[in-house]
Structure 1
Amino acid sequence: MSNVLPPPIWVNTKQVLQKMMDDLVTQSRVAVDTESNSLHAFREQVCLIQITSSHTDYLIDPLELRDLKLLAPIFSNPRIEKVFHAAEYDLICLRRDFGFSFANLFDTMHAARVLGYPAVGLDRLLGDKFNVQMDKRHQKANWAARPLSKEQIHYARLDTHYLFNLRDALEQELREKNRWEFAKDDFMRACLLDEVKQKTNGESWERFSGRKDLSLRELTVMAHLCKWREKEAEKLNRPLYKVIMDDTLITLSKNQAQQKVDLSAAGLSEKQIHLWGDAVLAAIRQGVSAPLVERRQVEAKNDAFLRRLEKLKLWRKSAGQEMGVESDVVLPKPYLSALAENPPKDADELAAMMKDTPSRVEKYGPQILKVLGGRNAN
């Protein structure tokens, strides 16, 4: 396989976008990837979209081209297969930023997981199968910065350039191992996940509410520190951790420093103390005197649910070991909880609950019913 590649086409005008679309609408499949700036901004956004057709690599600049609605019919067209590697995050970002919906997907990372590959990163798969070397140093680059370096552009285009070859090799293996239907079910389920997880503005402190080592007063201080940090991060357009790390906030909540000299012992740098020392101390004082927050109450599960859940976990772990895959490949997490919560009485109820993965019902239905004590378990 040749490592000498023609340059990709940079798509940053309506005219070039239209030329790309004239190509894509004729394709039976396209390879897709995205690059975002989650490590460099308060609210991440898609900063680059890579699309490969049968003969061309395109790099689309959504920072320049704000309107990408022309792409929507490509993603939603069931006659055009979209090949991703690790599709879940890309789908979340594309839905969030552009409102795209999806049909007909192939995820090479998930295909490798269904096959039981011990390492499923794109760099590892391309290196092992095609001797293609990828420089992963650019994974954490600031993709919102312009212009992109030649090295970034090369890295980005490699994320989709070889996906067709990888996809075809993995499909062949899936068919040979009789796991193609498993993978197809999962690809279809990925297209159905329309709920985009929204950030809970101003309530990030609730992530810490389950910590047993924080008293209610300490948790109240944490809440005020978190609210201050969010405002500061949004103002500076940087991730929360690039203001103050979570571990440092926990230490501040417990020690409740009263003077700037105490902030250094809690882990703040001289620069942080100079920039935000007064604001941090003010947030601590507010938390010390404010009404206590209430911990988020997690609904207690009854013993019968917990017993069923444990039985299912043990069964799928054993089935996964026998198949040579991670346990969630045998029974994905959403089904695990749903089956333990509302155990099906018979095969028909099980088929209805797992209608989006009929291949698993066919292969494991009797075993699942046996574990749960349902009828038609033989």
Structure 2
Amino acid sequence: MFEIIPPPIWVNTKQSLQIMLEDIASQNRVGVDTESNSLHAYREQVCLLQFSTSKADYLVDPLALNDLSPLAPIFANKDIEKIFHAAEYDLICLRRDFGFNFATIFDTMHASRVLGYTAVGLDKLLGEKFNIPMDKKHQKANWGTRPLPKEQIQYAMLDTHYLFALRDVLEKELIEKNMHGFAMEDFKRACVEVHKTRSNGETWERFSGRKDLSLRQLTILSQLCKWREKEAERLNRPPYKVVMDDVFIALVKNLPEKKVDLSAAGLSEKQIRLWGDAILKAIRQGAESPLVERKQVPVKQDAVLRRLEKIKAWRKKIGLELKVESDIILPKSYLAVLSENPPKSLEELSVLMKDSPARFEKFGSQILKVLGVKHAN
């Protein structure tokens, strides 16, 4: 599928936005993608929105347009299918920055996962299906830069240009493999799921290496994190680009007394020169502050844990048989509710799984048997 693609239409005025909206409104589907600056700013924001219709490719500049609310009816329109690749994070960002609601999406990455593909990146799928090469080196570029380099503009356009063709190929395979219902109910659920967003800043409670630390060490870590947050915000960069998490863990495990001791934890000469005094001050404050408290994770009852393990083992087994990942068999969101409040009949299970009718129809009886319900058939 080689073709000469016209350059995308840059949308950075109310007039050009209106022209694009009129095009999209006349279509029954549109390809969508976003680019953000999470690797280059303290507070992530959407820096570019890409749209592709049957007529043209558009790049919308939210940094130039202070009102994107005219896009809201497009995203909420049930009669216009929005085609994404890896929709989950795009939806999170679009909800966070613009408050959009969604209806009728198709996610080509998720569709490929439902089909059991192991390589589900857009570059891999376009290469396999259409022999189209894609260079993903701009994926982590700074999308807040203006003007955008030509290479990034081309990359951004290609992220949506071929989504129609890919979507149609994958839908055909979903239907042939009787997995179309699974994908469609997942797409519908994605439109209403609201994920908790969190800032770029990582508090001590999210550190993977915190479990082996004492409360005093955690208190010092907390002070270090507070300092890093302020410095990252001042510099407008992600906190990890000030000091990495593992450096903080090393510092609290072997407390430095002087600036010369900081290099042993992995701090560079530049970091020590810029922030050595501030880091030592934060450590001293942590050593003198009231101890932080660990959040206590509620202990699940043994019966709940047994049911949870049975459900996990079952969905893993079925996933291996169907050559898909276990969450395709039963999404993670169902694990807790089924193990903590197990249904006693197919009727009760159908209520719990009202958003997954295809899975209920295929696996309902099996799930009840796994939960120990007699006469599950």
Pair 162,205 (structure 1): closer, same or farther in 2 beyond 3 Å: same
Match of 2:234 in 1: 235
Match of 1:193 in 2: 193
Tell me, which stretches of 5 or more residues in structure 1 are unaligned? none
Aligned residue pairs: how many? 377
Written as runs of structure 1 = structure 2, the 5 A alignment for 1:206-285 is 206-208=205-207, 211-285=210-284
How many Å apart are 1:266 and its aligned residue? 1.1
Identity %: 68
How many Å apart are 1:22 and its aligned residue? 1.0
Structure 1 residue 135 corresponds to structure 2 residue 135: yes
Contact 1:39 1:142 in 2 (8 A): yes
How many Å apart are 1:194 and its aligned residue? 3.0
Contact 1:218 1:254 in 2 (8 A): yes
The alignment's TM-score, normalised by the length of structure 2, stands at 0.98
Match of 1:161 in 2: 161
Pair 357,285 (structure 1): closer, same or farther in 2 beyond 3 Å: same
Pair 305,132 (structure 1): closer, same or farther in 2 beyond 3 Å: same
Q: State the distance in 2 between where 1:200 and 1:262 align.
A: 28
Match of 2:111 in 1: 111
How many Å apart are 1:121 and its aligned residue? 0.4
Written as runs of structure 1 = structure 2, the 5 A alignment for 1:20-39 is 20-39=20-39
Written as runs of structure 1 = structure 2, the 5 A alignment for 1:65-84 is 65-84=65-84
Q: State the distance in 2 between where 1:69 and 1:113 align.
A: 32
Report the secondary structure of 2:50's partner residue: strand
Match of 1:301 in 2: 300
Q: State the distance in 1 between where 2:216 and 2:36 align.
A: 37
Pair 269,210 (structure 1): closer, same or farther in 2 beyond 3 Å: closer
Q: State the distance in 1 between where 2:14 and 2:80 align.
A: 22
Match of 1:345 in 2: 344
Written as runs of structure 1 = structure 2, the 5 A alignment for 1:47-62 is 47-62=47-62
Report the secondary structure of 2:66's partner residue: coil
Q: State the distance in 2 between where 1:26 and 1:375 align.
A: 54
Match of 2:144 in 1: 144
Contact 2:204 2:210 in 1 (8 A): no
Match of 1:92 in 2: 92
The one-letter amino acid paired with 2:274 is: L
The alignment's TM-score, normalised by the length of structure 1, stands at 0.98
Report the secondary structure of 2:138's partner residue: helix
Match of 2:43 in 1: 43
Report the secondary structure of 1:136's partner residue: coil
Match of 1:314 in 2: 313
Contact 1:3 1:132 in 2 (8 A): no
CA RMSD of aligned residues (A): 1.3
Q: State the distance in 1 between where 2:87 and 2:215 align.
A: 40
How many Å apart are 1:118 and its aligned residue? 1.2
Match of 2:365 in 1: 366
Contact 1:208 1:219 in 2 (8 A): no
How many Å apart are 1:256 and its aligned residue? 1.5
Q: State the distance in 1 between where 2:199 and 2:63 align.
A: 22
Deviation by residue 1:71-119 (Cα, 9 ceiling, x = unmatched): 0000000000000000000000000000000000000000000000111
Tell me, which stretches of 5 or more residues in structure 2 are unaligned? none
Deviates more, 1:103-112 or 1:211-220: 211-220
Q: State the distance in 2 between where 1:12 and 1:259 align.
A: 52
Contact 1:32 1:160 in 2 (8 A): yes
Contact 2:43 2:199 in 1 (8 A): no
Match of 1:178 in 2: 178
The one-letter amino acid paired with 2:175 is: R
Contact 1:126 1:133 in 2 (8 A): yes
Q: State the distance in 1 between where 2:356 and 2:195 align.
A: 19
Q: State the distance in 1 between where 2:360 and 2:210 align.
A: 38
How many Å apart are 1:335 and its aligned residue? 0.4
Contact 2:37 2:144 in 1 (8 A): yes
Report the secondary structure of 1:7's partner residue: coil
Deviates more, 1:209-218 or 1:9-18: 209-218
